Amino acid sequence: MRTRITDKKKSKKKIIVALSGGVDSSVAAALLKKVGFEVEGAYMRLNGSGESEIMARRICEKLEIPFHVFSFEKEFKKKVVENFLKDYKSGKTPNPCVVCNKEIKFGLFIKKALSLGADFIATGHYAGKEEVKSVGSKKISYKLRQAKDNKKDQSYFLWKLNQFQLKKTLFPLKNLTKNEVRKLAKNFSLPTFNAPESQEICFVKEGIENFLGKNLKKIGSGKVIDSKGMVIGNHRGLVFYTIGQRKGIGLSGGPYYVLSKNRKRNTLIVTKNPAELKGFDLKAFNVNWILGQEPELPIKIRAKIRYRHKPAEAVLRKLHKKTSYGIRFFKPQPAITPGQSVVFLKGNEILGGGIIS
């Protein structure tokens, strides 16, 4: 098992680890302490205190390191939750983890940690970074890379990060698999060694449909039509459906798949033919380049259109609008969904990403 984090020259640096109360971040903290860093733990309070905060405190007690609580509840509600609801209301299917990473976990958290004297922060993300020195100059750049564990790799959620955020972040789990992390947790006698996997959207505890129904007003029902234009039923409200959805549509004679949504007419378009869900093209906006500058375009890449999607070969080019980019896949891809992130890869490097329009 490869657990080497750094060399001895850096071992006296102060690291504040973002502890979620789960196994991954707790092992990250244990590994950093083991190699000689001055380690402290901090829990981000986003939705009030609870069991995860108690566990984070227990981890620090076990590792005999200082414990902090950073309260970002107001900022989290405004920047993540309200933005999530706004996107759903506009017909998109957003990814709140991407926004949270940029604004909270690698934004406010880094700022707070540095104010407490930290040299770096560390997280339990399965991702990696590479330090690159420019030829003929002293300039150092930081590349975001995928982790060793393909099944757990979380670099997809980090495409909004910038050079400063990467510079100040360590990813101790980049060369470890999930099974290795659990074994290490047991070896370190951490109370998280058998902790369950965390849920995808931390602030949605009652199910997405209940959450949206409770927080969004004026959700009107409407007609369901098939891809040929025939009315075949009624929907509960467009916010409750996402592109490619099969379950919960409520139509007999299926299965049916959600093909698209027409907000102006308040209609849900469905199909029985999964092939109709596939497309060659997408447009992306709000694009971020990890290295801070756009590569020479057009460029051949692999593009990932959702977390569990297998990256597919494509060509990325700039569109007429300065802020828009077009992606043309070599093979058609299923359920390209507005609001989701599309991430651009070259090898195992994350070049950047954008929001699917």
Which residue ranges make up each domain of the chain?
Answer: 12-187, 218-272, 278-356
* Residue 163's pLDDT band (cuts 50, 70, 90): very high
User: What CA–CA distances, in Å, run from 275 to 150, 246, 271?
Assistant: 27, 13, 9
Query: Can you state the percent helix, strand and coil of the chain, rounding each to 5?
Result: 30, 30, 40
Q: What percent of the chain has pLDDT over 70?
A: 97
- Sheet of 67-71: strand order equals 67-71, 38-45, 14-18, 120-122, 169-170
pLDDT for 277: 96
Alpha-carbon span 298 to 301, nearest angstrom? 10
Q: What is the DSSP letter of 341?
A: E
347, burial (CB in 10 Å: exposed 0-12, middle 13-18, buried 19+): exposed
Task: Say which CATH topology domain 12-187 has.
Answer: Rossmann fold (3.40.50)
Task: Say which CATH topology domain 218-272 has.
Answer: SH3 type barrels. (2.30.30)
- The mean pLDDT value for 185-192 works out to 96
- The mean pLDDT value for 202-231 works out to 92
User: Within 10 A of 212 (CB to CB), how many other CB atoms are there?
Assistant: 18
Secondary structure (3-state) at 39: strand
pLDDT for 5: 55
- Which tokens belong to 197? 């996997």
- The mean pLDDT value for 26-45 works out to 97
44-196-47 Cα angle (round to 5)? 25
Beta bridge partners of 69: 43
Alpha-carbon span 109 to 112, nearest angstrom? 5
Query: Is residue 233 a contact partner of residue 246, using CB atoms and an 8 Å limit?
Result: no
pLDDT in tens, 255-277: 999 999 999 999 999 999 999 99
Whole-model pTM over 0.75 = yes
* Residue 72's pLDDT band (cuts 50, 70, 90): very high
Q: What is the CATH number of domain 278-356?
A: 2.40.30.10
Q: What percent of the chain has pLDDT over 90?
A: 86
Alpha-carbon span 45 to 109, nearest angstrom? 11
pLDDT in tens, 320-336: 777 899 999 999 999 99
186, burial (CB in 10 Å: exposed 0-12, middle 13-18, buried 19+): middle
What is the dihedral angle through the alpha carbons of 101, 104, 109, 111, rounded to the nearest 10 degrees? 110
Q: Which residue has the higher pLDDT, 248 or 302?
A: 302
Alpha-carbon span 129 to 143, nearest angstrom? 5
CA 127 to the chain's CA centroid: 11
Alpha-carbon span 295 to 345, nearest angstrom? 12
User: What CA–CA distances, in Å, run from 81 to 73, 99, 211, 233?
Assistant: 10, 10, 11, 32
Catalytic residues: 100, 202
User: What CA–CA distances, in Å, run from 117 to 16, 41, 172, 274, 331?
Assistant: 9, 13, 20, 54, 50
* Residue 195's pLDDT band (cuts 50, 70, 90): confident
- Sheet of 257-262: strand order equals 231-235, 222-226, 267-271, 257-262
Which amino acid would we find at residue 108? Answer: L
